[in-house]
Amino acid sequence: MAVYFPEVDKVKFEGRTSTNPLAFRYYDPEQVVGGKTMEEHLRFSMAYWHTLVGDGTDMFGTGSAVRPWDNLSDPMDIAKAKAYAAFEFMEKMQIPYFCFHDVDIAPEGDSLKEFFNNLDEIVAIFKELMAQTGIKLLWGTSNLFSHPRFMHGASTSPNADVFAYSAARVKKAMELTKELGGENYVFWGGREGYETLLNTNMGLELDNLARFLRMSKEYAKEIDFNGQFLIEPKPKEPTKHQYDFDVATVLGFLNSYGLEKDFKINIEANHATLAGHTFQHELRLARVNGILGSVDANQGDELLGWDTDQFPTNIYTTALAMYEILLNGGLTPGGLNFDAKVRRGSHEAIDLFYAHIAGMDAFAQGLVIAQRMIDSGELEKFVDERYKSYTTGIGQKIVNNEVGLKELSEYAMENDQITNSSGRQEYLEAVLNRYLLES
């Protein structure tokens, strides 16, 4: 069997003092943190599209990536090479999961039929490789945004044929996900939105988006696919305005259409910041609403206005993300999928290893920091103390819904000289630094 990355052996944990660029310094899959191994906590996943398909193209430049299959030309040969390379990569990187869009893994050909045949052929290879390696499918999905037929949307296209076509694609992708034992199915609606309101029937489009999701869920039941269904919010890009803007928007949409029990959220860090939120905000909001399902682990550049999909290396971000995830009781059946791409100038195959190591180490260390924060209870205690007025007296009555404006007004007339406690933001930021630097 061909070896695609002969220059790299299995990447191993060597500890924090190692300067070996092809070793983990923080990620030790077997290290137990808070009662579970790092592997169980983190559930890392490789994103097939970036790692196997991405070639460094950007809006002003063509692909720069140098890849071991560059010598091939037949689309199916390339697809197969990528499949084998993917599993070699994941094994060497100790990544236990992967995610894919249908178009990532097989050529579309000239018809749906041909595409589905191509998919079946590759999926058979996947099954074999999964059995051999123990690597699993975190989630599958269908790419309903890249082909020009989706130029005006998929389920929100003004063209009913596109809606039907999209349905066929989701049906197939869901079947394949089931076949591969996928634990989740994701909907990211990159073209489900509008370019200009001048040509848009927003009401119909929103209704159709809901219809599409409902049909999908119904079909899952029909075929007994029990994976978790996830919606991935993004505010914009490629579309001027996307309907799944952020967690709050999706939550409202699901509620409006009675879909709130059928879908959870897949939160991407860079999508959060594009929507004007921190990553932690989106995780927290999903968590307190009970809809935090999975995570696309990357980071953006807040000074740039587009989705840079960088590998997550900021320890503050990974620590605070893991803090929310731990408080959520983990992500299972979701996971941490590296929806991240090497920079266009990091064009060598080995950069894929460096980049995943950087991201995995950053999340491993983030996990350790977060667990220490939770173990000490320092932050939680501060917060509990801050809100303690709601545990007795008038506060308790408020929380128990025992008072209305009238009773509260009477209370306030007698208690109108109010003293507040400091929120201590600067102090808490120093506390966070203590955990960050001393873990």
402 phi, psi to nearest 5 deg: -100, -5
3-class DSSP state for residue 311?
coil
**Ranges within 311-370 binding a copy of itself (CB under 8 A):** 311, 313-316, 320, 342-348, 350-351, 354-355, 357-359, 361-362, 365
Nearest distance from C-beta of residue 34 to a copy of itself, angstroms: 20
> Which residues from 384-403 bind a copy of itself, rule CB under 8 A?
386-387, 389-390, 393-395, 398-399, 401, 403
With CB under 8 A as the contact rule, the residue among 36, 129, 147, 330 that binds a copy of itself is 147
- C-alpha distances (whole Å) from 21 to each of 10, 15, 27, 354 are 12, 12, 13, 7
**Binding-site member from 9, 70, 218, 375 for a copy of itself (CB under 8 A):** 218
Q: What is the C-alpha to C-alpha distance for residues 271 and 296, in angstroms, rounded to an integer?
A: 9
Helix (H, G, I), strand (E, B), or coil: what is residue 185? strand
**Residues whose CB falls within 8 Å of the CB of residue 261, separated by 6 or more in sequence, listed in order:** none
Q: What is residue 227's DSSP assignment? A: P
Binding mask 158-197 for a copy of itself (x = CB under 8 A): xxxxxxxx-xxxxxx-x---------------xx---xxx
17, 73, 340 from 337: Cα distances, Å: 27, 29, 9
The first and second tokens of residue 52, run together, are 């196997």
Write the DSSP string, 99-168: EEEHHHHS---SSHHHHHHHHHHHHHHHHHHHHHH--EEEEEE---SSSGGGTT-STT-S-HHHHHHHHH
Could you list the active site residues? 101, 104
Closest approach of a copy of itself to the CB of residue 256, in Å: 6
User: Which of residues 81 and 154 has its CB atom nearest to a copy of itself in the complex?
Assistant: 154
| Subset of residues 107 to 126 that bind a copy of itself, contact rule: CB under 8 A | 111-113
Q: Number of C-alpha atoms within 13 angstroms, CB side, residue 185?
A: 26
User: Rounded to the nearest 10 degrees, how much is the dihedral formed by the CA atoms of 283, 286, 289, 291?
Assistant: -130
**Residue 429 touching a copy of itself (CB under 8 A):** yes
> Is residue 203 near a copy of itself by the rule CB under 8 A?
yes
Nearer to a copy of itself, 125 or 436 (CB): 436
User: Rounded to the nearest whole angstrom, what is the least distance from the CB of residue 263 to a copy of itself in the complex?
Assistant: 13
Q: Whole-number minimum distance, CB 172 to a copy of itself, in Å?
A: 8
Rounded distance, CA 44 to CA 97, Å?
Answer: 6
Site string for a copy of itself, 11-50 (x = CB under 8 A): -----xx-x-x---x-------------------------
Annotate 244-271 with DSSP letters as a single string: S-SHHHHHHHHHHTT-TTT-EEEEEHHH
Q: Note whether 430 binds a copy of itself by CB under 8 A.
A: yes
SS3 419: coil
- What string marks each residue from 75 to 104 as x (binds a copy of itself by CB under 8 A) or -? ------------------------------
Which listed range, 35-43, 70-78, 85-93, 428-436, lies at the site for a copy of itself (CB under 8 A)?
Answer: 428-436
By the 10 Å C-beta count (0-12 exposed, 13-18 middle, 19+ buried), 150 is classed as buried
Total residues binding a copy of itself (CB under 8 A): 163
Select 40 or 55, whichever has its Cβ closest to a copy of itself. Answer: 55
Which of 210, 225, 130, 133 has the alpha carbon at shortest distance from 173? 225
Identity of the residue, 161 or 224, whose beta carbon is nearer to a copy of itself in the bound complex: 161
What residues from 283 to 322 belong to the interface with a copy of itself (CB under 8 A)?
Answer: 284-285, 288-289, 301-307, 310-311, 313-316, 320
132 or 415, CB closer to a copy of itself?
A: 415
139: which strand partners?
99, 184
Site for a copy of itself in 244-283 (CB under 8 A): 245-246, 248-249, 251-253, 255-256, 273-278, 280-281
